Structure 1
Amino acid sequence: MMGAPADLRNASNGLGKSLASDAPNRPVAIPPMPDYSGRILAYAASAATITAGVWQGVFQQWNIWLVAAALIWPHIAHMLTRRTFLRNSPRIRQKMLTTDCIIGGGFIGCIGLVAIPSSMVALMLTFTSLIIGGVRQWLIGCGFMAVSILAFYSIFGPAESYQSPLLTSMLSILFTSVFICVTAFYSHQQARALMLAKTQIQNQREQSIALSHKLSKYLSPQVWQSIFTGERDVRLETQRKKLAVFFSDIKGFTELSEEMEPEALTELLNHYFNGMSEVALKYGGTIDKFVGDSIMVFFGDPTSRGQREDAFACVSMAIDMRKHMKIMRQKWRSQGIKSPLEIRMGISTGYTTVGNFGAENRMDYTIIGKEVNLASRLESLAEPGEILVSYETFSLIKDRIMCRDKGEITVKGFGKPVPIYEVVDFRRDMGPNHSFMEHEHSGFAMYLDSEKITDKERQSILTALEGAAERLRHEEDSVRE
């Protein structure tokens, strides 16, 4: 009198195709039992119960006509749900199951509530309602079935005896058990198919995450994050934004490349880029590209903290890079690289065009505009270890960073000479309380940033410095003697 559970049939079938294509040796799970087959089995069980009951005299003779109705109705229901306007109903399965509950309740009322056959029919109906539609469908089915039972019971009255003969009871229990077992079997196979599909989806998800992390290395983390969270579409589009643009390169790198082997030069350059990238990401910069020994970074897109904060973060990054370069230079010197590599930097702030440039099948997320050209020009004019900024950048950071006037320059694309400034240091680090110290000589290099030293590290550093000082004094005394 009802269809077997198959709510997720389409999903599992689709996933099954995917699983079959991805893993051809994987066992194919049995699909859930169709409504048509389940309804035929349920009504056949009811027909067998009616036949036995009429033959043993527990049901009235006219009930034999219900056998024909029980055998025909599944085919009528199948035709209604497949070949009429009902096939377009989004909840047709629940509606047909409700109809089955009304029919089953009518049958129970017609036989006068004979105990075992009535209980078996009610069991099949409630079992299927719970599997197909959950508690809600179970409550609806029970409600309609109860109303139907009362209506037909009031018409045909009670049976002569609520007890049924052994044969009728056994057939009713047997066929109901077969229906429940077959339905449960298909439900179990469906659950296995869904578990296999879930495992496959989890594996594909893990593979997709691993692949996305690999691809993220070709994009700035901010751009990658905006794409994979759906905030930004991957299409050719641009917009105008006010950004802080940064350029840097290594003074002396060309000469060094002529002296070093390509493998050693590649290792040095990758070490440099890795360190500088960490500094850029620390301050929230969007790394645009690496060109030779040059780095291009911008602030203010995809996310912005405001023009003033973006400019301050950009200059702060440049100061930190300059300090970090000193540490790298010490490490390179210990590896035998004696060339005095220095970083030079240029920063400009202004409106640029930012977005995806290129072709539909190959695009780059970058920026263009005269402010980009100005930042590149400032970088090329900077002395080793120097940071040059434009006037607009200076106006945004001057209250927190000390700068020195460097005059004016002429830049293509600008109608008037452009004032430029040299970044000295954070104002908080100026004077006697500055946290940063450095000292370099042949055979000696010291870099000290007291703000980054923990209490535990401080004692170790003091011990090392005292030991170095004692050794230098001892050597000096030996020379005097």
Structure 2
Amino acid sequence: MSLDDWIRKEPRQFEYFHRLMGYLILSLLITVYYYTSPDTHYQLYVPIFLVLVLIITPRLSNWLLYRYNTKIKRAILFVMDMAVIAVILSAIHLNLVLTFLTIFVILYTTISNKISFLVLSLAGLIGIAIFYLCNIFIFGFGEYFEQTTGELTVLGFVCLLIYFGVGSLYQRSQIQYISNRKSYYYEQMNRYMEFANQLSRYAPVQLWQSIMKGESEAKIEYKRKKMTIFFSDIQGFTELSETLIPDDLAFLLNDYLSHMTEIAKQYEATVDKFMGDAILIFFGDPISQGVEQDAKTCLDMAIDMRQQMKLLRERWIKMGYPALHIRMGISTGYCHVGNYGAAHRMAYTIVGRDANLAARLQSAAAVDEILISDDTYSLIKNDYLCAPKSPIRLKGIQHLVNTWQVMEKYTSRKSDYQRWFDYEYKGFHLLLNLDEVQNYEYPELIGVLEKMIVRIQKQQNMTNSQGIVKLNLADEVIEEPIDHH
């Protein structure tokens, strides 16, 4: 195994390797010091002590990791290293060059292991205590800061360069390795995000965003909520498909669906599915602004779609295609929404009566008409101009269904479109509820109001500004002057 392979090991293994190298260097230096310096006694036993420390270090490191964490483990091992260095400094009697080299090693270890000042201070106190204990009981007090021999000086600097060089090489290699891994994970993340974006086109955008954020899971489950459902298709598209070639048909369909889907996205609608030229959209899950606001947002979307269809129709006619029109149905009610299917293949959709009702309303709507249910109308009637239609019978629904045709959204004064009038002033009281009036009753109401206007105008002509009845010329009495002659 090469040195480069060794240093690519995990940090724990290199940490032990670097400590092993440092202890071997100290053993070499203490051995050379023993044979090159006078007045030496027990220095030759120090390498044996270092070997014993190296033997117990791996088990101590594993035990510290098991009981505590990496930070505490590094702090305790640093204190142990300071104790070993104190023994070495006592053995060499603070040899001048070797002492300064040892100080450099301590600083290097402190910085590389990110040792705190508190731990450094504690380790320093323990090291000083061990230093004096070794002087008293083992090595004695000799001449301190003696000049270092040439051989020991050269060997000390060579060993220091090797120790620092291996550490720097490891740090540089780790930085490069981490940088490469970071680039790899970044590329993989972009790759998976690209895949996720591609897959998201097969599911509602709100659903996959909720899954990506961890707010929901891809499992079979559903819930009951009150929602507004939108259903639309193109009038006569089935017949058109028999006359157009597949390429032209695909162009029209994709052009239509892309524009409609973009509008639905702007209103944060959940696009359930495409069924040929039909689109099923709902509001209320997984994003909801409240039942009433969801219904209003759905109508805003439908009105924009109707306007967009006009633009598309004009463009298609200029391109030589026939005029196409849209039909839309909207219903509000309780549905079950969630994931249906099997564990390995599921669909996020809605199930319920009102989902079927929206489809039936769409099929009953006229061209370019937005037909809504009675429940939807009760939520939006104060903000949209709607025309009541005669109750109709829809397939799959037993009773007659009240429907309303959406004309437009109120854009001027609300009083211009209000459906309830209650006005009273000095003998005049008008109470009108247009929700209770049918279309065929409008002429009769207009006739009554016109008679009232004529009568009020006649009364106005009969009175003056003070409200006094005017007299006709025949009613006036002309007094002739009295002749006194």
Q: What pairs with 1:286-365 in structure 2 (closer than 5 Å)?
A: 286-338=270-322, 340-365=323-348
Distance in 2, Cα, partners of 1:87 & 1:279: 57
Distance in 2, Cα, partners of 1:74 & 1:125: 18
In structure 1, the partner of 2:175 is 191
In structure 2, the partner of 1:242 is 226
Distance in 1, Cα, partners of 2:299 & 2:39: 95
Describe the shift of the 1:427–1:78 C-alpha distance in structure 2 as closer, same or farther (beyond 3 A).
closer
Letter in 2 for 1:69: F
Describe the shift of the 1:37–1:7 C-alpha distance in structure 2 as closer, same or farther (beyond 3 A).
closer
Counterpart among 109, 112, 125 of residue 147 in structure 1: 125
In structure 1, the partner of 2:143 is 160
Query: Does the Cα contact within 8 Å between 1:406 and 1:421 map onto a contact in 2?
Result: yes
Greater relative CO (CA pairs within 8 A, separation 6+): 1
* 2:246 is the counterpart of 1:262: yes
In structure 2, the partner of 1:279 is 263
Query: Does the Cα contact within 8 Å between 2:7 and 2:170 map onto a contact in 1?
Result: no
Letter in 2 for 1:66: V
* 2:28 is the counterpart of 1:45: no
* Superposition deviation, residue 36 in structure 1: 3.2
Describe the shift of the 1:305–1:159 C-alpha distance in structure 2 as closer, same or farther (beyond 3 A).
farther
Describe the shift of the 1:58–1:263 C-alpha distance in structure 2 as closer, same or farther (beyond 3 A).
farther
* 2:36 is the counterpart of 1:56: yes
Query: Does the Cα contact within 8 Å between 1:404 and 1:422 map onto a contact in 2?
Result: yes
Q: What pairs with 1:55-454 in structure 2 (closer than 5 Å)?
A: 55-57=35-37, 60-81=40-61, 85-86=63-64, 88-89=66-67, 90-91=69-70, 92-131=73-112, 133-134=113-114, 137=115, 139=117, 142-155=120-133, 156=135, 159-166=142-149, 167-338=151-322, 340-411=323-394, 416-428=399-411
Distance in 2, Cα, partners of 1:266 & 1:239: 36
SS across alignment from 1:361: coil
TM-score (normalised: structure 1): 0.77
Letter in 2 for 1:67: P
Distance in 2, Cα, partners of 1:256 & 1:414: 30
Letter in 1 for 2:223: Q
SS across alignment from 1:284: coil
* Superposition deviation, residue 59 in structure 1: 6.4
Distance in 2, Cα, partners of 1:96 & 1:301: 57
Describe the shift of the 1:163–1:79 C-alpha distance in structure 2 as closer, same or farther (beyond 3 A).
same
* Superposition deviation, residue 415 in structure 1: 6.5
Query: Does the Cα contact within 8 Å between 1:53 and 1:59 map onto a contact in 2?
Result: no
Distance in 2, Cα, partners of 1:312 & 1:7: 65
* Superposition deviation, residue 74 in structure 1: 1.3
* Superposition deviation, residue 223 in structure 1: 1.5
* Superposition deviation, residue 61 in structure 1: 1.5
* Superposition deviation, residue 9 in structure 1: 5.3
Distance in 2, Cα, partners of 1:303 & 1:8: 49
In structure 1, the partner of 2:443 is none
SS across alignment from 1:302: coil
* Structure 2 alignment gaps of length 5 or more: 1-5, 418-485
Cα deviation per residue 1:302-354 (whole Å; 9 max; x = unaligned)? 1111111100010111111111111111011001113x311011000111111
* Structure 1 alignment gaps of length 5 or more: 1-5, 11-30, 435-481
Letter in 2 for 1:126: L
* Superposition deviation, residue 268 in structure 1: 0.6
Cα deviation per residue 1:19-45 (whole Å; 9 max; x = unaligned)? xxxxxxxxxxxx886233222211111
Query: Does the Cα contact within 8 Å between 1:130 and 1:138 map onto a contact in 2?
Result: no
* Superposition deviation, residue 280 in structure 1: 1.1
Distance in 1, Cα, partners of 2:157 & 2:123: 20
Query: Does the Cα contact within 8 Å between 2:86 and 2:131 map onto a contact in 1?
Result: no
Distance in 2, Cα, partners of 1:425 & 1:240: 31
SS across alignment from 2:197: helix
SS across alignment from 1:218: coil
Describe the shift of the 1:119–1:193 C-alpha distance in structure 2 as closer, same or farther (beyond 3 A).
same
Q: Share of identical aligned residues, percent?
A: 32
Letter in 1 for 2:389: K
User: Once superposed, what is the RMSD of the aligned Cα atoms?
Assistant: 2.7
* Superposition deviation, residue 203 in structure 1: 0.9
Letter in 2 for 1:117: L
Query: Does the Cα contact within 8 Å between 1:319 and 1:425 map onto a contact in 2?
Result: yes
Distance in 2, Cα, partners of 1:259 & 1:203: 48
Of 73-82 and 227-236, the range deviating more from structure 2? 73-82
Cα deviation per residue 1:162-183 (whole Å; 9 max; x = unaligned)? 1332233332222122111112
Cα deviation per residue 1:367-426 (whole Å; 9 max; x = unaligned)? 110010111110011011111111111011111101111132345776653321110111
Distance in 2, Cα, partners of 1:408 & 1:159: 115
How many residues in Structure 1 have an aligned counterpart in Structure 2?
Answer: 403
Distance in 1, Cα, partners of 2:358 & 2:77: 72
Describe the shift of the 1:264–1:413 C-alpha distance in structure 2 as closer, same or farther (beyond 3 A).
closer
Describe the shift of the 1:33–1:178 C-alpha distance in structure 2 as closer, same or farther (beyond 3 A).
farther
Describe the shift of the 1:128–1:215 C-alpha distance in structure 2 as closer, same or farther (beyond 3 A).
same
Distance in 2, Cα, partners of 1:7 & 1:428: 74
* Superposition deviation, residue 282 in structure 1: 1.4
Of 265-274 and 207-216, the range deviating more from structure 2? 207-216
Distance in 2, Cα, partners of 1:298 & 1:217: 17
Query: Does the Cα contact within 8 Å between 1:101 and 1:142 map onto a contact in 2?
Result: no
Q: Of the two, which has the highest radius of gyration? A: 2
Letter in 1 for 2:303: I
Query: Does the Cα contact within 8 Å between 2:30 and 2:44 map onto a contact in 1?
Result: yes
Query: Does the Cα contact within 8 Å between 2:231 and 2:280 map onto a contact in 1?
Result: yes
Query: Does the Cα contact within 8 Å between 1:126 and 1:142 map onto a contact in 2?
Result: no
* Superposition deviation, residue 56 in structure 1: 2.7
Query: Does the Cα contact within 8 Å between 2:78 and 2:123 map onto a contact in 1?
Result: no
